[in-house]
Amino acid sequence: MHFIFLIFLPFFLAILFFLFKVFESLLPLMFRGAIYVPTKKEKMLEMIKLAEVKKGDKAVDLGSGDGRLVIALAKKGVEAHGYEINPFLFFLSKRNIKKAKVKASVHFANFWKKDLSQFNVVTLYGMNHVMGKLEQKLKKELKPNSKVVSNSFDFPNLKPKKEKDSVYLYILG
């Protein structure tokens, strides 16, 4: 019995080592991006209401998480997209979009590396430390009269056109 154990022990240890190395290399990818904070339904509805979205709008949710805001935008008849860098959340949002049976897209991508000029509505839940840099990116890339709706965090140099319950609407251009 001990002989069989000794024969398989190196094989078992090699498998454990391999699994550890795979997990160790995947761990940083699993938690990429900002902290995930799901948007409450009331906030999500307020964001859409402030943006006054309509058919023909092309919207993007930056850091789209589980896709709930992308789905809500699609239900309003908007061409809705999301950018998500966390692979777990990306696949979760893909599943949620399919389950909701809406026409929407989520992209496994870093929005910092994407040109946002095709969108006229941008939604986000940023963090204080990125809002200045993000403000510059949006001012550079968005067309005049584009709407930006931020949940909880405001831009350092822009004055919101409307604000309700820590949801800020900005009109750029």
Q: What is the DSSP string of 83-140?
A: EE--HHHHHHHHHHHHHHT--EEEEES-GGGS--TT-SEEEE---HHHHHHHHHHHHH
The answer on 119 and 148 residing in a single domain is: yes
Higher pLDDT, 145 or 12: 145
Tokens of 152: 């909880």
Query: Would you call 16 exposed, middle or buried from its count of C-beta atoms within 10 A (0-12, 13-18, 19+)?
Result: exposed
The answer on 107 and 26 residing in a single domain is: no
pLDDT band at 29 (very low <50, low <70, confident <90, very high): very low
Tokens of 75: 């239900």
Residue 4: give the domain boundaries: 1-30
The 8-class DSSP code of residue 49 comes to: H
The answer on 108 and 24 residing in a single domain is: no
| CB-CB contact of 168 with 124 (8 Å) | no
The answer on 22 and 81 residing in a single domain is: no
Residue 10 lies in a domain: yes
Higher pLDDT, 2 or 84: 84
The answer on 129 and 59 residing in a single domain is: yes
The answer on 130 and 109 residing in a single domain is: yes
Which pLDDT score, from 0 to 100, does residue 126 have? 86
pLDDT tens digits, 53-110: 999 999 999 999 999 999 999 999 999 999 999 999 999 999 999 999 999 999 999 9
The answer on 46 and 9 residing in a single domain is: no
**Single pTM value for the model:** 0.81
Residue 143 lies in a domain: yes
Distance CA 170, CA 151 (A): 12
The answer on 96 and 17 residing in a single domain is: no
The answer on 24 and 46 residing in a single domain is: no
The answer on 13 and 86 residing in a single domain is: no
The answer on 48 and 4 residing in a single domain is: no
Q: How many domains does the chain have?
A: 2
**Over 70: is that where the pLDDT of 1 sits?**
no
Residue 36 lies in a domain: no
